[in-house]
Each structure stands twice: as structure tokens, then as C-alpha cells.
């Protein structure tokens, strides 16, 4: 009896520990949504603004509190409105191997001078999501190093057009710097999130993205029963993943642009907290974390490298 009882106690203790561990490594949209609320209350956050510096301060506080170190990558961008000081914030969670997966999104909001634009979804949701993702990844055993990259200056300064080099300032600077210092080749894959908090989340299947990464995520979404949020709707979108793809990094963009825009909420005064929902952040967090072991297994094996060129001998 005693032995059985102590075994039962041990079994319960193990179960409790397992559940606690699972809770730690599950995405918690309540936390993510609270980050979003905090970020939005800083007001409009265009590149170079004091509100964006307050946002960075919030990142450092939140990440520091969970034991994740950050570093700033500050640079002067040449823009149509003159030089603008921008800062990418890089958080690193060391894994078993030095090669890394980069999870990224922009945290600046588009500059509008004629109305108040708080960018709850566009700029806010990606930043809030990445903060919660950092907590989960920190509590997890990671075969590869995890990097959380908050990108500045994704938005164009031109009020309506996206052209030339007037956009993706942060990602382009990051890629050039990583090429120069030789750290680009240790990025095995990049996952970009952008506008993932809209309350009727409908993600585009972004066609510039690396196909196997997209397929892994969309397949996982079907398995989890959230295919309504991940429809098979192909759509090419220019975003912060393009400089990485052009540099040879495998990358996927998870973005709800068209649906949010069709509702009249993209780059308008309507992009406010009430157009977003915690559930949308939860769905993306659940799918990404459920797909992650598959992505990691492929990256660790090195099976994700480009197929061997055909010799034409057969």
C-alpha cells in the first residue's frame, strides 16, 4: 500500500510538473494582448519618434524580466523626409546549436500627419506577439538558437506609395550588416509576422515565401482545425522578408493584409484595438509553436538546403 501510495504521489507530482511545463511553453494570448494594449497606449509610433523609444523601453523591461538579453542596432536611414535614426532590437535565446531561427516583425507605425494612427494591428500586433513568443521560447528546450528581431522602419514615409527604397529600412540594414559581419549564414530560417491581430484573421498564403515553410504552417493549421484563418489563398506581398530571401535566407511571411484592408482598417484611423482580438494572436501562436518541431527537425538535419543541381546524365 505504502509503495503504491508513494508511486501514486510521484505520478501526480510528475503530472503536475508536466502540466506546469506545458503551460509555460504554450502561447498565452492574454499576455500577448496585454502587451498590445500597452504598446498602443504609447500612441502613434513612427520611426524616430519618442513614442517608439518608449516602446523599445517596454521591450527591454519585459524581456529583461524573463531573463532575455537584448541589444540595439541603431542606424541613420536616409528617407524622403531626411535622415531618420532607427533602431532594430535583437533578443537572443541561446539553443543547443549556434545556428539560428529568426522570428521577426516590425514595431514602427506608419507616419500620418493628418490623423491619429495608432497601428494596433499594423505594427502593434507583431511586436506584442513577439514579446509573448520570446517568453515561450525562453521556457522551451531549443535545438537551435532563437532570435527575436523587432524591426524598425518597415513603413514607407510617402503617405500612399511604397516605392524605391522608401520602406523596409530596418530589415535591409540588418541583412547588409549581417552580410558584412558574417552572421547571415548562420540564419537557417526566418519567420515574419505582420498584421496578425485582426479580429477576423484571414492570412494570405504569401507566394514569395519559401514554399516548404508555408506548407508546414498551413498544414499544421488544418490539423489544428483553424484553416478558416489560414485559407489557401495565394497572394504575393512585399514585406520585411524580401531582403532576407534575396540574400538566400529561407523565409515565410504570415500576414493578413487583404482582408484587413478590405474592411477599411489598413493604414486608416480605424486600425485601433477594437479591430483586433486576442484569439487571432492565439491562433498564430498555436500554429507556429505546433509547426516548430517539424521546422526545427528539417533545419537541424540540413535537409532544407537547396536540392542538388541535376547533372543531366540520366
Per DSSP bridges, beta strands 251-255 and 204-206 are antiparallel
Q: Which is nearer to Zn ion, 206 or 296 (CB)?
A: 206
CB of 162 to Zn ion, least distance (A): 9
The answer to whether 33 and 120 are in contact (CB under 8 A) is no
Query: Which value, to the nearest 10 degrees, does the dihedral of the CA atoms of residues 245, 120, 202, 187 take?
Result: 20
Q: Tell me the C-alpha distance between 41 and 58, whole Å.
A: 12
Residues that bind Zn ion (CB under 5 A): 110, 122
CB of 238 to Zn ion, least distance (A): 11
Q: Which is nearer to Zn ion, 122 or 152 (CB)?
A: 122
Q: Which is nearer to Zn ion, 122 or 256 (CB)?
A: 122
CB of 257 to Zn ion, least distance (A): 9
CB of 247 to Zn ion, least distance (A): 23
Q: Which is nearer to Zn ion, 121 or 229 (CB)?
A: 121
| Half-sphere exposure of residue 170: CA atoms within 13 angstroms, side-chain side | 29
Q: Which is nearer to Zn ion, 148 or 255 (CB)?
A: 255
Q: Which residue is nearest to Zn ion (CB)?
A: 122
CB of 114 to Zn ion, least distance (A): 16
The answer to whether 55 and 112 are in contact (CB under 8 A) is no
Q: Which residue in this structure is represented by grid cell 490539423?
A: 223
Amino acid at each position: 500500500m505504502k509503495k503504491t501510495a508513494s508511486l501514486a504521489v510521484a505520478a501526480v507530482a510528475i503530472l503536475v510538473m508536466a502540466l506546469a511545463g506545458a503551460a509555460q511553453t504554450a502561447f498565452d494570448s492574454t499576455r500577448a494582448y496585454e502587451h498590445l494594449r500597452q504598446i498602443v497606449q504609447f500612441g502613434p509610433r513612427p520611426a524616430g519618434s519618442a513614442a517608439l523609444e518608449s516602446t523599445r523601453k517596454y521591450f527591454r523591461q519585459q524581456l529583461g524580466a524573463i531573463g532575455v538579453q537584448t541589444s540595439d542596432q541603431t542606424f541613420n536611414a536616409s528617407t524622403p523626409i531626411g535622415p531618420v535614426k532607427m533602431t532594430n532590437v535583437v533578443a537572443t535565446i541561446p539553443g543547443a546549436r549556434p545556428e539560428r531561427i529568426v522570428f521577426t516583425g516590425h514595431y514602427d507605425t506608419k507616419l500620418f500627419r493628418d490623423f491619429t494612427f495608432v497601428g494596433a494591428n499594423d505594427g502593434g500586433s507583431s511586436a506584442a506577439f513577439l514579446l509573448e513568443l520570446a517568453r515561450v521560447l525562453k521556457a522551451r528546450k531549443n535545438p537551435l538558437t532563437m532570435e527575436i528581431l523587432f524591426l524598425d522602419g518597415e513603413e514607407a514615409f510617402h503617405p500612399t506609395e511604397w516605392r524605391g527604397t522608401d520602406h523596409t529600412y530596418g530589415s535591409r540594414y540588418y541583412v547588409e550588416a549581417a552580410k558584412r559581419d558574417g552572421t547571415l549564414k548562420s540564419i537557417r530560417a526566418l519567420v515574419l509576422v505582420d498584421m496578425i491581430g485582426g479580429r477576423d484573421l484571414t492570412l494570405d498564403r504569401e507566394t514569395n515565401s519559401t514554399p516548404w515553410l508555408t506548407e508546414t504552417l498551413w498544414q499544421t493549421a488544418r490539423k489544428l482545425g483553424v484553416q478558416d484563418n489560414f485559407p489557401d489563398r495565394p497572394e504575393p506581398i512585399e514585406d520585411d522578408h524580401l531582403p532576407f530571401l534575396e540574400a538566400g535566407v529561407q523565409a515565410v511571411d504570415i500576414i493578413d493584409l487583404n482582408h484587413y484592408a478590405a474592411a477599411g482598417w489598413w493604414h486608416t484611423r480605424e486600425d485601433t484595438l477594437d479591430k483586433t482580438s486576442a484569439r487571432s494572436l492565439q491562433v498564430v501562436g498555436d500554429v507556429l509553436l505546433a509547426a516548430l518541431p517539424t521546422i526545427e527537425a528539417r533545419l537541424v538535419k540540413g535537409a532544407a538546403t537547396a536540392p542538388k543541381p541535376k547533372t543531366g546524365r540520366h
